[in-house]
């Protein structure tokens, strides 16, 4: 397991960090974005999508209400938010296994709430802001 820690003090730094991280990641796999509400998960996702050079027709935004956003044609990145889902049965209706198998990068917010659905091989990104708003971003590659 590899682990790295970064600091980001502004939204621009979070976007730049996401872009930098994306350059070192495979084109397909699962990235778990972990952090409280407002931690910067979606901001980091914006940088990841930009860093991968994915063509998109809309701004990267939180998929809280639609649950899944796709970027690229065909989709190269899936941005998935499980915040509003409460049960494993609800999550299973999304077809995450099929999405994970499509050869794209799946960015998954709030996925840690459903560990049974997570692949063993994944990247976990934990974001923790301090009182001044500086975010500590820990990236772990599992297993």
C-beta of residue 56 within 8 angstroms of C-beta of residue 78: no
Query: What is the per-residue pLDDT for 56?
Result: 57
Distance CA 37, CA 31 (A): 18
Task: Assign residue 75 the CATH number of its domain.
Answer: 3.40.50.300
Domain hosting 17: range is 2-142
Q: How many domains does the chain have?
A: 1
- Look up the pTM and report it: 0.91
The confidence band for 57, taking pLDDT boundaries of 50, 70 and 90, is very low
Distance CA 90, CA 97 (A): 14
Angle 44-28-88 (CA atoms, 0-180°, nearest 5)?
75
Question: For 81-101, what is each residue's pLDDT tens digit?
Answer: 999 999 999 999 999 999 999
Question: For 6-46, what is each residue's pLDDT tens digit?
Answer: 999 999 999 999 999 999 999 899 999 999 999 999 999 99
DSSP state of 9: -
With residue 70 as reference, give the H or E element that holds it. strand 68-71
Query: What is the per-residue pLDDT for 91?
Result: 93
């Amino acid at each position: 397991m590899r682990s790295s820690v970064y600091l980001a003090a502004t939204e621009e730094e979070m976007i730049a960090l996401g872009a930098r991280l994306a350059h070192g990641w495979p084109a397909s796999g699962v990235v778990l974005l972990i952090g409280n509400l407002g931690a910067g998960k979606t901001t980091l996702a914006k940088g990841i999508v930009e860093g991968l050079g994915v063509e998109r027709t809309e701004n990267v935004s939180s998929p809280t209400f639609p649950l899944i956003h796709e970027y690229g044609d065909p989709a190269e990145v899936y941005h998935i938010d499980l915040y509003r889902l409460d049960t494993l049965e609800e999550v299973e209706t999304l077809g995450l296994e099929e999405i994970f198998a499509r050869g794209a990068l799946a960015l998954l917010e709030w996925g840690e709430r459903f560990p049974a659905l997570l692949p063993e091989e994944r990247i976990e990104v934990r974001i923790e802001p301090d009182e001044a708003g500086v975010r500590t971003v820990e990236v772990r590659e599992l297993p």
